[in-house]
Amino acid sequence: MPLGTLDRTPPPFFKQGPSALTKLMVFSALALFLMVADARFKLIQPLRASIATALYPLQWLAMGPVRLVQGGGSYFESLAKAQALADEAEHKLALQSVRASQVEQLSQENQRLRQLLSLREQLAVKSQAAEVLYDTADAYSRKVIIDKGATQGVEAGSPVMDESGVLGQVTRVFPMVSEVTLLIDKDQAIPVVNARTGLRSVAYGYSDASSSGVLELRFMAGNSDVQVGDMLTTSGADGVYPGGLRVATVERIDRRADSAFARIYCKPMGQMSGVRHVVVLQPTAVSMPGPATEAKGPAKPASPAKGVKK
């Protein structure tokens, strides 16, 4: 057979498609488009919620050994440690009974003052208990996952607290679980009021290598009346946190001569690490009643006064 009649095309096994650089550019552009679309139009949110719902049974099974180890450790706890915990619980119970009697007396005085001033009764805030499943894997944020989601009525922005104080608020809600951002996260802020002086301010999450797990009161004047040990509670000005919840105590104050503002660091009252059981509150803005409906139709004009006969 003549050589000119042979097929010189390579076999299909050696055929190549687009080059590696072309594939890299195409898939990079597609990834960038999906990220922008998700950030602006929330296109991937339903898919993310579906994946979280589908993976919830696997997460529950994966947490099984952890729950087993925790339960076994609690079961084999020594008698001396259990007795110490019981004594501490009795001591706290005695302190709480004294505080409860004081709170009841103050509540009665507050109710009498509100009735005297014809002020509206304080709104009741709905709440539900939840359990912390695990911390998120992001090392640059402080977030936890709880076992209550949209099916249980949890809403984005709901305050979360434990028996000691405020922990944070719900920032992302899935059908079965929710994501809670703690107060010490660098992107969190909460309006507070000084219980001693009534001074209002805003506490921000502070993250630093030297001090983690604290709050910072920013833009406070150097001569402001703030002392170490002052109790900070929620002011209720943001429409999210109910007023009067314990937030933090002032731990350290740095007043510098070269700055008009003081650096005030506070220790959160809530247990920011290792907490298991929390309470999810309804946002104050949701529980507040809407404005009163106006009467339909124009108001009837008042009849003119009759003239006085001379």
Digit-by-digit pLDDT tens for the chain (310 residues) are 555 565 566 555 555 677 888 889 999 999 998 888 888 888 778 888 888 888 888 888 888 888 887 777 666 667 678 888 888 888 888 888 877 777 777 777 777 666 655 544 444 678 888 999 988 877 778 899 999 999 999 999 999 998 888 999 999 999 999 999 999 998 899 999 999 999 999 999 986 645 568 999 988 888 889 999 999 999 988 888 888 889 999 999 998 888 888 999 999 998 888 888 899 998 876 655 555 444 344 444 444 444 444 4
b/e 94-129 (16+ beta carbons within 10 angstroms → b): eeeeeeeeeeeeeeeeeeeeeeeeeeeeeeeeeeee
For residue 130, the cross-strand partners are 278
pLDDT at 286: 61
> Within 13 Å, how many C-alpha atoms sit on residue 283's CB side?
16
Number of H-type helices and E-type strands within the chain: 5, 12
pLDDT at 3: 55
pLDDT at 303: 46
**DSSP structure string for 219-236:** EEETT----TT-EEEE--
Q: DSSP letter at 206?
A: E
Domain ranges of the chain: 125-283
43 SS3 class = coil
pLDDT at 114: 65
Global pTM reads: 0.57
User: How far apart are alpha carbons 17 and 26 in whole angstroms?
Assistant: 13
pLDDT at 293: 42
Show the tokens assigned to 225. 């009346």
CB 170 within 8 A of CB 178: yes
Residues sharing a CB contact under 8 Å with residue 220, sequence separation 6 or more, in sequence order: 201, 226, 261, 262, 264
CB 184 within 8 A of CB 206: yes
Show the tokens assigned to 222. 């150097």
pLDDT at 151: 92
Domain 125-283 has CATH 2.40.10.340: yes
pLDDT at 9: 60
Which amino acid is residue 252, in one-letter code? R
